[in-house]
Amino acid sequence: LPGSDHILVATGYAKWGMTNAVAAGLALAGTALGGHQPWAQAYRTWRGSEVTGLAKAASLNIQVARHLTTGWLSAAFGGGGTPAEGEGRVERRGIRPVGVCTVDGTTSAVSPICPHLYGILNWNDAERSWDCPLHGSRFTHDGKLLEGPATRDLEQL
């Protein structure tokens, strides 16, 4: 709880566990044993920057909502035809959005709905992957999970 050091927990390292988990462990041990590391302030449960960061947090969440809305709207009006080599797009088949791409001469169709928060994925020409603009999940051209926060593959259609 903010301002309380009775329960100490560190979590949420994403891809930085090997470094940040060690730093958090040192900071927690220092707090529990009454020590003081000036750098450990970054790991405190409550900082003044959390209040001043509210406007930035609101702005970021508005951007996520915008991506979510525009993704679904663009999926509703997507075009048809086979994409050229290395290209992909989201189109509509009936009422369902479908992600279609062509990689190495094979055209794949997957659900372009991210299983994490249900945002519509974007095709990444450079990486030939489906990328989520909401939280950064990435999938191969045929829907296999590359990196999360999503925890499962896309549905193949």
| Residue 145 and residue 151 in contact, taking contact as beta carbons nearer than 8 Å | yes
User: Per the confidence metrics, is the pTM higher than 0.75?
Assistant: no
CA–CA separation, 140 and 127 (whole Å):
9
Quote the DSSP letter at residue 84. P
| Residue 111 and residue 101 in contact, taking contact as beta carbons nearer than 8 Å | no
Question: Tell me, what's the pLDDT at 29?
Answer: 86
Question: Tell me, what's the pLDDT at 45?
Answer: 66
E strand intervals along 94-152: 96-103, 106-110, 122-124, 129-131, 138-140, 145-147
Strand partners, 88: 101
Question: Tell me, what's the pLDDT at 54?
Answer: 74
Q: What is the pLDDT along the chain (157 residues), one digit of tens a residue?
A: 566 777 888 877 777 778 888 888 888 888 888 877 888 877 776 666 666 777 887 888 788 787 777 777 676 666 667 888 999 998 888 888 999 999 999 999 999 999 998 989 999 999 999 999 888 999 999 999 999 899 999 999 8
